[in-house]
Structure 1
Amino acid sequence: MTSSVPITENLMKSFQASKTFKYHKVDSPITSIDFDDSGQYLISSGVDESIQLYDVNKGKHSKSIFSKKYGVHLARFTHHEKNCLYASTKEDHTIRYLSLHDNSYLRYFRGHRAQVTALEMAPVDDVFLSSAYDDSVRVWDLRSSACQGFMNCKAPSLISFDPTGMVFGIGSNNTNEIGLYDFRNYDKDPFATFDINVNMNWNKLEFSNDGKYLIVTDAANECHLVVDAFDGVIRAKLIGTKKFPNRNYPSTGSTTISPDGRFVYGGSGNRSVMIWDLQEIQKDDINKQIFPCKELNSDQGLPRMCLFNPRMLTFATADTAVTLWLTDSKNSMI
């Protein structure tokens, strides 16, 4: 039986690599990982055209689902148990809504004219956003195959909902801009636009759990940005990681935020996971350099992607294998 435990600084720094799953094709890049709302299940997708499902609570691999005809990228859980979305990589650019229970397709979302680059479920309902190399962001509802909204962008973009689901951000390193939108009026111009004049290759945009910051992750892993979500000022640069070896396939980003919103975890090219403490940021800081307050060492593979579990004291890393990281309170809820 699980029980809640208080989140402390020592606890958040005590993670250890616990179990590694090697169910994707050997040495085949994994491109996305995602937890479901309950935290019990994890999925990964890769260039081997498979989705792998894991039971986090039991520490076991559950099943393999293949999409050889269409390819697979950006597998994302919906709010419905064992249902997911994923982007096609072959034949067309359709987003597919899949039941992992019986491997049946529930719906198709057609409209993008180029490869989908991001999929994000709204935090509290059945709406989701997608962006693609056709320089567009689309709004969808799981209950209808029809596109609910369309936005032209200047370049391929990343997307992120704030914790309330009332605001979402669209950002791109091609324009060095982040625009914030009111979801109730997504057909209007952004209510705020931030210029981010830092030369880096973005591959993840994420609101902190308290909505205070936006974390912009650098694919080159040279530094990650902490942007004030209210005024767009770069409050801090998270540094101290080693570069990842180059590869030709995208990933869903090497940083993740702890449930209390205090710590950022990020993979490093030396196979470690770095932890940065956002409490080091003071009210008037600008471009403050923050070094890791803790380095978690592992020989379980490269942590090119990093994602925190929404409910349980665990996080996952992935590159060509998936690793779960646990604390001594591995059976506790947060």
Structure 2
Amino acid sequence: MQNGDGPSTELDLHALRSLSSSKQCTDATLPVNSATYSRDGMQMILSTDDDSIYLYDLSSGQKSRSVNSKKYGASHVKFASDATCAIHGSTKIDHTIRYLSLADNKYIRYFTGHTELVTGLRMSPNDDMFLSVSRDKTLRLWDLRTYNCMGIMNLDSVAIADFDPEGLIYAAGTGQGCLKLYDLRSFDKGPFSSFEVPAELKNIGWTSMKFSPCGKMILICTNSDKMILIDAFTGIIKSVLEGHLNQQNIALNASFSPDSNFIVCGSSDNSLYAWSTESGQIVHRFQTPHEQTPNLVEFNPVYISFTSADKKIVLWCPSEEIGT
């Protein structure tokens, strides 16, 4: 899938428009609910609504391993600090977060405490810490090396959260339209900064949050036909991204390009749309092989490529880099 010229994360508009669907994988029987790349960009891990976890080798574009989690279910899968292990949420029996060795399909550790469904997991970009949010209206901070939760925040609604690219702060957002930033070293002292969004953006369902790779922007994904792009330093709304469709009001997970210049998201017309983060305007529409709404988009952090998924998994790359 990659050529021999080494990694590149620069993506101008011409390069963006040159991306095409290179591989289509049909391993899942129900929609993909999470996708993450390894830090070196050479592996991808997915969790699906059919209680499975799939690992892909991106040098070939082929599935390299699958893990069934029929008893516990699987959601929000993330590579741990290296690509030999992963964490994932449970959708059945209990709400435990499970730490999985991918080498031998054995669980290393269990993280218990949430009393309702885990709705989001985020790994720190530079160590073994991770965040979890849940329908129980708590945010929890964990370390892979210990069973005990390092910190708990009780909130007034279900939250969304993410680490900044340096792993020094994290942001938490709630359905009341408030975004708060915390210093990881002193999160128990409360937020060091809080932003309120305009009233018209408070009544849409916030479903996930992502810092841009440059750390200057925060993207709020929703279950509507709008996404909110916020300046991470001032809290000012840079853009409300519109033009795509979300007729089923599902959680559409968008992604920044690794240079932070573009955002790509799926749409109910089975297309993908790309916006410029500078202008907030749509700059390209991708025709896709998806037969349902591609609810998930995830950019490779190292190479110029991304993945889109409903229950079909599609890998997008410049056509000259594609191995068949």
Category of TM-score, reference length = shorter chain = over 0.9
Shift of 1:8: 2.9
Say whether the 8 Å CA contact 1:17–1:326 is kept in structure 2.
yes
Residue number in structure 1 paired with 2:257: 258
CA distance in 2, matches of 1:17, 1:111: 41
From 210, 214, 239, give the equivalent of 1:206: 210
Matched with 1:223 is 226
Q: Deviations over 1:103-142 (max 9, x none)?
A: 0111111111111111000110111011111111111111
* 1:72 matched to 2:74: yes
- CA positional deviation for 1:48: 1.0
Indicate if the aligned counterparts of 2:84 and 2:102 stay in contact, CA closer than 8 A. Answer: yes
Provide the aligned length of Structure 1 versus Structure 2. 315
One-letter amino acid of the counterpart of residue 232, structure 2: A
Q: Identify the residue that residue 133 of structure 1 maps to in structure 2.
A: 135
Matched, 1:178 2:179: yes
Question: What's the offset of the Cα at 1:62?
Answer: 1.3
**Counterparts of 1:329 and 1:107 in 2: how far apart (Å)?**
42
Give the corresponding residue for 2:194.
193
Structure 2 residue 236 is matched with structure 1 residue 233: yes
Gap runs ≥5 in structure 1: 281-289
What is the alpha-carbon distance in structure 2 between the residues aligned to residue 95 and residue 71 of structure 1? 11
Name the SS for the 1:279 alignment partner.
coil
Deviation at 1:305, TM superposition (A): 0.5
Q: Is the 8 A contact 2:262 2:276 kept in 1?
A: yes
How big is the shift at 1:82? 2.5
Q: Deviations over 1:231-262 (max 9, x none)?
A: 21212111110224356xxx5x4310011111
Q: Determine whether 1:324 maps to 2:294.
A: no
* Mapped contact 1:313–1:330 kept (Cα < 8 A): no
Shift in Å, 1:329: 5.3
Partner of 1:275: 274
From 114, 122, 125, the equivalent of 1:123 is: 125
2:185 aligned partner, one-letter code:
R
1:297 aligns with 2:287: yes
State percent identity of aligned pairs. 34
In structure 2, give the amino acid aligned to 1:169. Answer: A
- Mapped to 2, the partners of 1:163 and 1:73 lie a distance apart of 23
8 Å Cα contact 1:276-1:292 kept in structure 2: yes
Residue 203 of structure 1: CA displacement? 1.4
Q: Distance in 2 between matches of 1:254 and 1:111?
A: 26
In the alignment, does 2:303 pair up with 1:312? yes
Q: Is the 8 A contact 2:22 2:319 kept in 1?
A: no
Pick from 151, 154, 168: which aligns with 1:152? 154
CA distance in 2, matches of 1:4, 1:91: 42
RMSD: 1.7
Single out whichever of 92-101 and 190-199 deviates more from structure 2.
190-199
TM-score normalised per structure 1: 0.90
Q: How far, CA to CA, are the matches of 1:215 and 1:233 in structure 2?
A: 12
Amino acid paired to 2:35: I
Stretch deviating more after TM superposition (290-299 or 164-173):
290-299
Report if aligned partners of 1:30, 1:320 keep a CA contact under 8 Å in 2. yes
Separation in structure 2 between the aligned mates of residue 167 and residue 134 of structure 1, nearest angstrom: 23
CA–CA separation in structure 1 for the residues paired with 2:170 and 2:140: 12
Distance 1:329 1:38 in 2: 21
Following TM superposition, by how much is the alpha carbon of 1:298 offset from its aligned partner in structure 2, in angstroms? 1.2
Separation in structure 2 between the aligned mates of residue 89 and residue 236 of structure 1, nearest angstrom: 34
Residue 24 of structure 1 aligns to a residue whose secondary structure is coil
1:284 maps to what in 2?
none
Equivalent residues of 2:76, 2:121 under 8 A apart:
yes
Aligned to 2:25: 21
CA contact (8 A) 1:209 1:259 kept: yes
1:29 partner letter: P
How far apart, in 2, do the equivalents of 1:166 and 1:306 lie?
25
Secondary structure, counterpart of 2:165 in structure 1: coil
**Residue segments in structure 2 that go unaligned for 5+ positions in a row:** none
Do the aligned partners of 1:163 and 1:207 also contact (CA within 8 Å) in 2?
Answer: yes
For the 8 Å contact 2:230–2:236, the answer to whether it is kept is yes
Structure 2 length normalisation: TM-score?
0.92
CA distance in 2, matches of 1:41, 1:219: 28
